Chain A
């Protein structure tokens, strides 16, 4: 295990990780813009958070510092809290309007 990680910083340069994270983040943005199902939009947000997590872990490995991995823990905590509250809001919305179509949720629109 030790020499695997020593190798990964050699064979896969940092910009590959940045590119991978950028692609995953853009896919998340695409999902939020493209879909009308609130739950799928939520999942796209999770994808974006994971892209950031991956990038933080990559920087942590390339920097040889544990701080980046601790940040990932905090992002995971925030993601868990966000999902709990967000899904509660979705369940409540579904009770009220019997739909999770984002276009139905336009009462606050000016």
Chain B
């Protein structure tokens, strides 16, 4: 059952990812990407990262994809008149990505010996354990990321402002 769920979610994620790349209409790409994100959230739940799954859905499907959709609607791009690249370039892109995949799979050799740590700590995905790690070991990166978000907000506002004197 768990194994079936794993392969089903993997299939959904890969198929949706493929559709993101190949869909002509940007809005369809966004919707397929949301499907892929939900499949990945399912993977997180299987991996005992429940809080991560919820945050993933809220941040990605809830915020980032809405931002994408609103920009597509704002710029009125929801038509499929994107000029295609030439066939040679398409072939080159596919070959390059395929070679990258071959390299990754080649690098897989030796990972069969990695087995799960025993005993398994099933509490690591909960807020309590994550918060302890986040606010003890990773306190400085946490503060720095707050600064990063602030600068991103200011940067976005400054960039889209019309007449900045």
Contacts and interface: CB of A to CB of B under 8 A. Distances in A.
Nearest to A94: B75
Interface in A57-82: 57-58, 60-67, 69-70, 72-74, 76-82
Interface string B47-89: 1111110011001100110011001101101000011110000
Of the candidates A15, A50, A91, the one having the most CB atoms from chain B within 10 angstroms of its own CB is: A50
Given A29-B100, A40-B29, A80-B59, A91 B114 contact: no
A5 B47 contact: yes
Interface residues of A, number: 78
Contact of B17 (A28, A66, A83, A91): A28
A92 B160 CA distance: 6
27 contacts: A8-B6, A11-B2, A11-B3, A12-B6, A15-B111, A19-B104, A20-B10, A20-B14, A29-B97, A30-B21, A33-B92, A34-B85, A36-B84, A39-B29, A39-B72, A39-B77, A66-B133, A70-B133, A70-B134, A70-B137, A72-B49, A79-B59, A79-B64, A83-B64, A83-B68, A84-B67, A87-B156
Given A5-B125, A79-B64, A80-B64, A69 B83 contact: no
A26 B159 CA distance: 31
A60 B100 CA distance: 25
Contacts of A65: 117, 121, 124
Interface of B: 2-3, 6, 10, 13-14, 17-18, 20-21, 26, 29-30, 33, 36-37, 40, 43-44, 46-52, 55-56, 59-60, 63-64, 67-68, 71-72, 74-75, 77, 82-85, 90, 92-94, 96-98, 100-101, 104-105, 108, 111-112, 114-117, 119-122, 124-125, 129-130, 132-134, 137-138, 141, 145, 148-149, 151-153, 155-157, 159-160
Nearest to B153: A84
A43 interface: yes
Nearest to B17: A27
Contacts of A5: 46-48, 120, 122, 125
Contacts of A91: 71, 74-75, 159-160
A105 interface: no
A88 to B, nearest CB: 4
Contacts of A12: 2-3, 6, 46
B2 A73 contact: no
B159 A29 contact: no
B59 A26 contact: no
Contact of A35 (B21, B43, B55, B120): B21
